Amino acid sequence: MSDALLEVRDLVAGYREPVVGPLSFSVRAGEIVGLTGPNGAGKSTILRAIIGSVRVFSGSIVRRPGTRVMVQPQRPFRLPEMPITGHELLHLTHAKDRDAPAALQPLLDPRVDRLSGGQFQLLQVWAALGSPCDLVYLDEPTNNMDPGTVEVLGDLLLAWREERGVLVVTHEHEFLDRVATTIVEVGA
């Protein structure tokens, strides 16, 4: 095997029937790999196959032994009343709040149910990105974000990309053009 943290080869995945593939790509430390394509192309299905929650019909998914993974979900969990602070959220993933970028500092003290959708999404991405893992999967991380917050997210990814490999699923081409080292078109 190569030095890749994640190696996907000729992957065909789906549910009862195959819905996406074959697709091949790899993610190494320091790389930001973007999976993109139109709605319904199967981007999130590829990610779910890598996580192990949908059926793999053929091909292989190999994660380097010992690789620690964090997954930021497409639909963040937040109850209408959610008495957890930003600091506590970061502690869950062992992300260090002292390392959190300046844009995130005002988000750490309030309860997360007092944040906007975009702010909470940004905090979740940082909780994943700032954790001591080797590989981060981000599923539609720009959801709920205004252009300014997307800009901050891009800065975060670029500033921390040397630390780990990142696989980003998104339909936002402009965002990927800015941050990704490799772009993989799904359903092309």
Partner 1 sequence: MNVALVFDRLFLLPFLNGLALAVLLALLGCYIRLREEWLAALGLAQAAAAGVVLGGMFLEPVLLVALVAALLAAATKALVGRTGNDAYAVMILFGWSVALLAAANSVHGDDLSRALVQGQLYFTGVPHLEGLGVLLLLAVAILPWISRRLLLGRFFPDTFRANGLGTPHHDLVFDLLVAVTLAFAATAIGVFAAFALVFVPPWIAFRFAPGWKKTLVGSVAVAVACYMVAFAAAIALDQPFGPVLVAVLLVASLARLLRRHH
136 φ, ψ (degrees, to nearest 5): -120, 130
Residue 144 binds partner 1, judged by CB under 8 A: no
Continuous H helices in the chain: 43-51, 86-93, 117-129, 147-159, 173-179
Q: How far is the CB of 142 from partner 1 (least distance, A)?
A: 18
Window of 20-28, 80-88, 153-161, 171-179 that interacts with partner 1 by CB under 8 A:
80-88
Residue 68 binds partner 1, judged by CB under 8 A: yes
Q: How far is the CB of 188 from partner 1 (least distance, A)?
A: 26
The gap from C-alpha 80 to its chain's centroid, in whole angstroms, comes to: 24
Which residue among 10, 92, 132, 174 contacts partner 1 (CB under 8 A)? 92
> How far is residue 99's CA from residue 108's CA, in Å, rounded to a whole number?
12
Which residue among 3, 16, 17, 52 contacts partner 1 (CB under 8 A)? 52
Residue 127 binds partner 1, judged by CB under 8 A: yes
Which residue among 3, 17, 83, 188 contacts partner 1 (CB under 8 A)? 83
91 φ, ψ (degrees, to nearest 5): -65, -30
Residue 124 binds partner 1, judged by CB under 8 A: yes
Residue 128 binds partner 1, judged by CB under 8 A: yes
99 φ, ψ (degrees, to nearest 5): -90, -10
Report the residue number, 54 or 180, with the smaller CB distance to partner 1. Answer: 54
Residues 6+ apart with CB under 8 A from 3: 28, 29, 64
Size of the site for partner 1 (CB under 8 A): 32
> How far is residue 121's CA from residue 142's CA, in Å, rounded to a whole number?
8
Structure tokens at 136: 């981060």
The residues binding partner 1 (CB under 8 A) are: 50-53, 68-73, 76-77, 79-85, 87-89, 91-93, 111, 113-114, 124, 127-128, 137
